[in-house]
Amino acid sequence: MTSLLSLDKRRYLVTGVLNNESIAWHVAAALQREGCEVVLTSFGRVARITRKVADLLPSPAEVLDLDVMSDESVASLAEQIESRWGQLDGVLHSIAAAPPDALGPGFVSAPASGVLDGFRASAYSFQQLTTALAPLLARAPGGGAAVGLTVDSTRALPGYGWMGVYKSALEAVARYLALHLGPSGIRVNLVAAGPVETVSARGVRTFAELADQYERWAPLGWDRADPARVVGAVLFLLSDLSRHTTGQVVHADGGMHAVFGGVGVSPAAGTGVPPAATAPAGGTTASRGETATG
Kindly report, residue by residue over 25-66, the tens digit of the pLDDT.
999 999 999 999 999 999 999 999 999 999 999 999 999 999
Our answer to whether residue 124 is catalytic in this structure is no
Our answer to whether residue 167 is catalytic in this structure is yes
* Active-site pick, 12, 52, 124, 160: 160
* Binding-site residues for NAD(+): 16, 22-23, 67-68, 95, 167, 196-200
Average pLDDT over residues 211-228: 94
Among residues 59, 63, 38, the alpha carbon closest in space to that of 50 is found at: 63
* Binding-site residues for substrate: 98
Q: What is the dihedral of CA 216, 221, 226, 232, to 10 degrees?
A: -150
Beta strands in the chain (DSSP E): 11-14, 37-42, 63-65, 90-93, 145-150, 187-193, 249-252
CA dist 61 and 46 (Å) reads: 16
Q: Using one digit for the tens of pLDDT, what is the confidence trace for 4-18?
A: 567 888 999 999 999
Does an H or E element contain 215, and which?
Answer: helix 207-217
* Binding-site residues: 16, 22-23, 67-68, 95, 98, 167, 196-200
* Active-site pick, 12, 166, 167, 214: 167
Q: Using one digit for the tens of pLDDT, what is the confidence trace for 172-182?
A: 999 999 999 99
- At residue 90, the 3 state secondary structure works out as strand
- At residue 161, the 3 state secondary structure works out as coil
Q: Using one digit for the tens of pLDDT, what is the confidence trace for 241-262?
A: 999 999 999 999 999 999 975 5
Strand 11-14 vs strand 37-42: parallel, antiparallel, or unpaired? parallel
At residue 272 the predicted structure's pLDDT band, cuts being 50, 70 and 90, is very low
In angstroms, how far apart are the furthest CA atoms of the chain? Answer: 53
Among residues 141, 139, 190, 191, the alpha carbon closest in space to that of 7 is found at: 141
CA dist 14 and 66 (Å) reads: 11
CA dist 64 and 127 (Å) reads: 19
Domain at 11-257: CATH code: 3.40.50.720
- Domain ranges for the chain: 11-257
